[in-house]
Structure 1
Amino acid sequence: MKYIILFLFTLFVASASFAQDTGFSSFQNEEEAKNEVKIYPNPCKNDKVTIDYSLNEISEIRLTNITGKQVYLKEYKVPVSKIQLQVNDIPNGIYLIQILTTDNKRTIKKLMISRN
């Protein structure tokens, strides 16, 4: 009986350890994807923002303000990895840029627009 309990305990600990390792690598991949997205200039002081995603191709760009209201949406029929976003009609403030790639990965970055 002791051996069965010891075996089950060992099996439980091993599976819990494996689950933690898998979760960490997933988080690490998300962080790597975020680092591959470059948004500049940020803060934006003019009318153009460049979004450069060297890791994947962009299929959709969505810009929302901090209250969650969508202020810009563009879907790309032909995926691109670098775009220039015209923000001249968007007021000063803090926004979230949601980038959807062709393989359905979503990355969210912060953008500040502060024109004089």
Structure 2
Amino acid sequence: MIQVSNCPVAGLGDFDNKNHFSVYPNPAQSSITIGGTTKISAITIYNLTGQKVFETYYKHPISEIQLTLKDEWNGLYYLEIQDSDGRVFSIKLVIE
């Protein structure tokens, strides 16, 4: 028998990016804009198999960026945004 007590459970609200970054439009076609309350120091995009398809770093973190998407990218991706404090946020991105 397994007994669990006083164990915090992460819910969807625990991973809410609304207060940190916004990505629009989503679904996207040719470009996206990423902005937030903290500065962006790195952006990485992964496909559903976990393969890294894009990565960039900013020597001087910025508040907002417009990113041009490749024509062959279609489907669901995971966008990881690292802020200037080293925190990483993940957002689902649909590219049409």
TM-score, length-normalised on structure 2? 0.80
Alignment of 1:84-103 (within 5 A): 84-103=66-85
* More strand, by proportion: 2
Corresponding residue for residue 32 of structure 2? 49
Contact 1:71 1:90 in 2 (8 A): no
Percent identical across equivalent pairs?
Answer: 33
* Alpha-carbon separation, structure 2, partners of 1:96 and 1:88: 15
Number of aligned positions between the proteins: 89
Q: 1:69 to 1:40 in 2, by over 3 A?
A: same
Alignment of 1:43-82 (within 5 A): 43-45=27-29, 47-53=30-36, 55-82=37-64
* More helix, by proportion: 1
Alignment of 1:9-48 (within 5 A): 28=14, 30-31=15-16, 34-36=17-19, 37-45=21-29, 47-48=30-31
Task: Give CA deviations for 1:63-115 in whole Å, capped at 9, x if unaligned.
Answer: 0001100000000001011100110344211100000111111100010000x
TM-score, length-normalised on structure 1? 0.67
* Alpha-carbon separation, structure 2, partners of 1:52 and 1:90: 24
Q: Which runs of 4+ in 1 moved over 4 A?
A: none
SS at match of 2:18: helix
Gaps of at least 5 residues in structure 2 are none
| RMSD of equivalent CA atoms | 2.1
